[in-house]
Structure 1
Amino acid sequence: MSPPTPSLGRKSSAFRAFWKKPRSRSPIPHEISDILLPVELWLDVLAGVPEHALEPVSRVCKRLRWIVLPLYFRSQQVFPFQETFAFRRLNMGVELAGYQDRSLKRLDFLSSDQLSAAVRELFVSPYPPGYNRRHRIEHRPVEDVMERLLVVLPKFTNLTKLVLHLPLCNATLFASLKSLRLYRLDYLELEMHPTSRGDVPIPARKEFLFNRSTSPIQLFPPVGLSLIFLFPESIEHMVAGPTGTDTLTRALARHPTGFPSLHSLDLSLRFVASPQFAAALATCPNLSSLRLRSSAIDGLIPSFLPPLLSTAVPYLTSYHGPAHFAPAFARGRRLRGARLWTSHGVSAVSAPSLLPPTLLQLGETIESLELGVTVVSDSLLNAIRDAFPLLASLSFNAHLDAFHPGTLERHTLHAPLEARVTLPRGLRPHTLRLGAQLGGNSHAELCAAARETVQGFPAAYDPTSWRRWIVDRPWYVVEWTHDGKDAGSSGSLEGALRIEYGEHYFKSFERGSRISARTVDEAILRIS
């Protein structure tokens, strides 16, 4: 969860420099001046308003337009890469030099004294958010633009979020990142080129994400690349992909003071194969959530977890990763949540016969359980019922998804009240979530299909069968929630249904407008 947005009205005087510049003293109509507030109050009011909603406010009157205008620059996207130019080159007469010149002028404009303090989020990548992780080519920065970007980076004095992909790894980068320690940079996402070397300062105060790309052409950075955390005492959340896990693990293990505020760690499965595995966990004494993900470039992962001291991560309450590692993390700890899956692919689900021995070793404190399984058998349900008396939420295959490019946003449909469903006798969770590919398109058709899915559970629930799985069909989650009523003398439970589904979209190059897409070909056509 991202930290609350700080009040813009209470920002430094540098942030309000734009509104303090001289303005014409034209008289304000009486009917408008009666509703105007001081600038500081308007900044507080508009702090959480998204960019697309600012335009109607700016048309109310000239004074409000003057207040709103700099807020359009709160979130900026920069694409200083040769491949981006080639991808967007609709006019073949336009040369790279022209693209470079426009980019340099834009950076000078954004970093000017009047506007630099208004920029709070900066995204630097070859492609818009959601598309950058799907690339399968090597990206080359436009060096003059990237170098200029690194030079002006310290001018954004109110920057709270920075996404920086494939920067030039040189002294300018190190100096710019080190200078950001003077500001409140809560969030930093960094992706380094595989040839990068040196000690990279990390000025993130709350969240740090490193080399998250899972592209199959990615290479692992050399041992000569290291991370130096400037705020180890306050950082709370860290993420690394397969090419970043080794570097981040070494940084964790070697830090002399540890990370007392770190409560969430999300790494590749390479973490458990690292010789610094135990030392890295020892520097995170208050870790409460651990996630281990798999990818095609992880390589060979050991079948058994390296020795883990019973005193390590004593406050761990949530484990997310391979099922066969879960008992080691549960031993001597009070896990409340277990998510025993590592990938969104249907091929990563488990056979039902392999799970009961593992589940019986997780302890009776589990309240939330997520599984990926080919078939939900009676023996699996019996093991779950016997092992977890406090279980409140049970999920089967809700994490699976057909591949679609771009950013995923979840939507919810609520079934009508008369569509209450009786859960089969024997199960008594408060919430049951089932992943499925539902037939139909209308609200009524989807609700009918969802009702049929729950009523057929578990005998008729087999969504991962290759005879039923359709790659291009959306993946839905059917959620049944107990409403506190029993279905007569049978002891079965009744509950209400809702349906979750995902919309996949891109943010375009121009001002981040949204482009929805169902297939890769459609997305490429529309985004260009």
Structure 2
Amino acid sequence: MLSPGLLSPPLTGGPRSPSLKSPLSPGFSRMINRARSLTSLGSKRSSRRSEANAILNSVPPELWLKVFMNIPLHLLPAVTLTCRSFHALSQPLLFSTVSTHPPALPSLALRGAQTSKYRKRILERLEFFFSPRICPSVVECAISPLAPEEDGAPTDDLIDTIFASLSRLPNLKVLSCRYVRLTPKRLAVLQNLQLTTISLEMCFGEIADFADAPSVPLQTVTFKYPDAIRRDKVNPCLLFLSPTHLEQLHATTTSILPTLARSQPFRKLQTLDIPIECITSDIFIQALSRCPAVDHLSLHTSGSVPRSLLESLPEGVLPNLTSYRGPHHYAAVFLRNRYAKRVEISVPSRPHRLGASLPAIDRTLLSLSFRLEGVELPASLLTTIHASFPKLKSLTVGEPALSSADINGVLNASPRHVSLEEITIHIQGRDKFNLWIPPDEAAADAISCFKKTLPALLATYPGLRSVRFMHGSEGASVKWRRSSSGLFVQSAA
């Protein structure tokens, strides 16, 4: 009879080691059993993947292209790495916007061999962008040499080559040019392209070049020129403003006014964005009278606001205007005694001056956006807004940044406004101490502020449907929408 010490231990469910008589440790046994189950499951998953791949392969490429076109550009590189098929389909979409001239290294003057290398890089880019596989995807092209072409010198043959190649981009709709001389040869190319949008910055030509050339049929035009232009420089505004096609005009120069004033009426022009200095011109009203369809006027400024004797628009001028963006000084000039849809005060204002100018705007105003100087939002200003615009649906307070206590204090001291449905407020976070706050923590602070202020928000605005809190200096925000149950649910900002 064998002694108990020589008996083998009872068998367990775990596998035995091939080189040992004793069973493996329980932990190692569990690991092997888990591996076996994963192997079994892996074979099942492999078969499922094969079935899924068969389904994917049966989807027409045209359908995948439609899907990829709706994916944000910054996410497309990940799609190109998914599989070979997706790489071939989605890679060209990465080049919907191209620039013919690569940026040069800062503080590096291009001379001699460096210039040759730079031009070689441009040619390599052109060869790729205009290749048969990529060119159908190009929608927007920028031509921006590092320096303007010199007056009196021969034109850059490389830029001539670029212009001559633009016709090989069948879907090109947007063209941006900077420091490019507009010669008759290049203008002829533009006439034959199916462009909808063009942006010209410091692009000049000779008077004879524009004498008899017909206007290019464009929907959106942007002119970036200074007001101080030498006499031998010709602003080509007239050539690119088609009265029968133009829908949006953005300009940084007052020299646009004579062109508008002399032209036929722009019956499709809806957005007019011009510098505030235009308001002091003697032909300002005459130019506006040529734009009967404009419904949005933007007067941008980078400095002081000029004075003007204009108190209101003459009857019949801008009859469809409903939206204004610019300094508060002239909001009432354009939207007095007419239906007002939206006002955006683009220049930070002093609270008492803004409060004095707002009541002159028509009471039908639906949307108001402004920024204030200082660190407070006075309850008196909010009271004025509530009383002046009973139909207001949307309110945005871009500055100052307010704490939850500030928001509650202002709302508790203001009368109710039953029509407001959307409100946007810049809240004060820990970044006020010049600290960098991780985005997740900043968003958590915004959520905490929302919980503290929601009762006061609903007490003042019982019809509120949407709340958006901006935070930080980078324009991040958190948004909540009211669900059908009446509760506010966080949504994508």
Match of 2:178 in 1: 165
| 1:355-370 → structure 2 map (5 Å cutoff) | 355-370=354-369
For residue 208 of structure 1, give the secondary structure of its aligned residue in structure 2: strand
| Matching residue's letter, 1:151 | A
Match of 2:308 in 1: 303
**TM-aligned CA deviation for residue 268 of structure 1:** 0.9
| 1:178-217 → structure 2 map (5 Å cutoff) | 178-180=191-193, 183=194, 185-193=195-203, 198-199=209-210, 203=216, 205-211=218-224
State whether structure 2 residue 271 is matched by structure 1 residue 264.
Answer: yes
Task: Name whichever of 305-314 and 107-116 sits farther off.
Answer: 107-116
Q: What does the per-residue CA deviation read over 1:480-514, in whole Å, with 9 as the maximum and x for residues that have no partner?
A: 78899448xx9999996633445499xxxxxxxxx
Whether the aligned pair in 2 keeps the contact of 1:190 and 1:209 (CA below 8 Å) is: yes
Match of 1:405 in 2: none
| Matching residue's letter, 2:321 | L
| Matching residue's letter, 2:261 | A
- Rounded to whole Å, the distance in 2 between the matches of 1:103 and 1:73 is 16
Match of 1:521 in 2: none
- Rounded to whole Å, the distance in 1 between the matches of 2:148 and 2:455 is 51
- Rounded to whole Å, the distance in 2 between the matches of 1:162 and 1:230 is 15
- Rounded to whole Å, the distance in 1 between the matches of 2:77 and 2:394 is 43
Whether the aligned pair in 1 keeps the contact of 2:425 and 2:468 (CA below 8 Å) is: no
Match of 1:146 in 2: 159
State whether structure 2 residue 105 is matched by structure 1 residue 104.
Answer: no
- Rounded to whole Å, the distance in 1 between the matches of 2:240 and 2:180 is 18
| Matching residue's letter, 1:271 | C
Match of 1:118 in 2: 137
Q: What does the per-residue CA deviation read over 1:122-148, in whole Å, with 9 as the maximum and x for residues that have no partner?
A: 123368xxxxxxxxxx75689343232
- Rounded to whole Å, the distance in 1 between the matches of 2:446 and 2:133 is 56
- Rounded to whole Å, the distance in 1 between the matches of 2:158 and 2:65 is 32
For residue 429 of structure 2, give the secondary structure of its aligned residue in structure 1: coil
- Rounded to whole Å, the distance in 2 between the matches of 1:485 and 1:381 is 15
1:232 to 213, 222, 243: 243
| Matching residue's letter, 2:101 | F
For residue 64 of structure 2, give the secondary structure of its aligned residue in structure 1: helix
Q: What does the per-residue CA deviation read over 1:14-61, in whole Å, with 9 as the maximum and x for residues that have no partner?
A: xxxxxxxxxxxxxxx998565243443333333233455444544555
- Rounded to whole Å, the distance in 1 between the matches of 2:129 and 2:181 is 20
Whether the aligned pair in 2 keeps the contact of 1:288 and 1:313 (CA below 8 Å) is: yes
Task: Name whichever of 101-110 and 149-158 sits farther off.
Answer: 101-110
| Matching residue's letter, 2:273 | D
Distance 1:226 1:383, change over 3 A: same
**TM-aligned CA deviation for residue 288 of structure 1:** 1.0
Match of 1:42 in 2: 64
Whether the aligned pair in 1 keeps the contact of 2:446 and 2:471 (CA below 8 Å) is: no
| Matching residue's letter, 2:115 | L
Larger radius of gyration: 2
- Rounded to whole Å, the distance in 1 between the matches of 2:444 and 2:83 is 47
How many residues are aligned here? 401
Distance 1:73 1:382, change over 3 A: closer
State whether structure 2 residue 469 is matched by structure 1 residue 498.
Answer: yes
- Rounded to whole Å, the distance in 1 between the matches of 2:134 and 2:143 is 18
For residue 255 of structure 2, give the secondary structure of its aligned residue in structure 1: helix
Match of 2:385 in 1: 384
State TM-score, norm by structure 2.
Answer: 0.67
- Rounded to whole Å, the distance in 2 between the matches of 1:226 and 1:113 is 33
CA RMSD of aligned residues (A): 4.3
- Rounded to whole Å, the distance in 2 between the matches of 1:494 and 1:60 is 40
Whether the aligned pair in 1 keeps the contact of 2:221 and 2:241 (CA below 8 Å) is: no
Whether the aligned pair in 2 keeps the contact of 1:481 and 1:495 (CA below 8 Å) is: no
Whether the aligned pair in 1 keeps the contact of 2:145 and 2:180 (CA below 8 Å) is: no
Q: What does the per-residue CA deviation read over 1:204-256, in whole Å, with 9 as the maximum and x for residues that have no partner?
A: 6332221078xxxx854657323224653333222112xxx323323322222
| Matching residue's letter, 1:384 | I
1:70 to 82, 88, 92: 92
**TM-aligned CA deviation for residue 169 of structure 1:** 2.5
| Matching residue's letter, 1:153 | L
Match of 2:486 in 1: none
Unpaired segments of 5 or more residues in structure 1? 1-28, 128-137, 343-348, 402-414, 456-479, 506-528
| 1:311-326 → structure 2 map (5 Å cutoff) | 311-326=316-331
Match of 1:438 in 2: 429
Q: What does the per-residue CA deviation read over 1:84-105, in whole Å, with 9 as the maximum and x for residues that have no partner?
A: 4352859999611121123124
For residue 360 of structure 1, give the secondary structure of its aligned residue in structure 2: helix
Instruction: Using CA pairs under 8 Å that are at least 6 residues apart, name the structure with larger relative contact order, 1 or 2.
Output: 1
**TM-aligned CA deviation for residue 269 of structure 1:** 0.8
Task: Name whichever of 361-370 and 142-151 sits farther off.
Answer: 142-151
Whether the aligned pair in 2 keeps the contact of 1:426 and 1:492 (CA below 8 Å) is: no
| Matching residue's letter, 2:191 | K
- Rounded to whole Å, the distance in 2 between the matches of 1:492 and 1:99 is 60
- Rounded to whole Å, the distance in 2 between the matches of 1:380 and 1:61 is 58
Report the identity percentage: 25
Greater fraction of residues in helix: 2
| Matching residue's letter, 1:277 | F
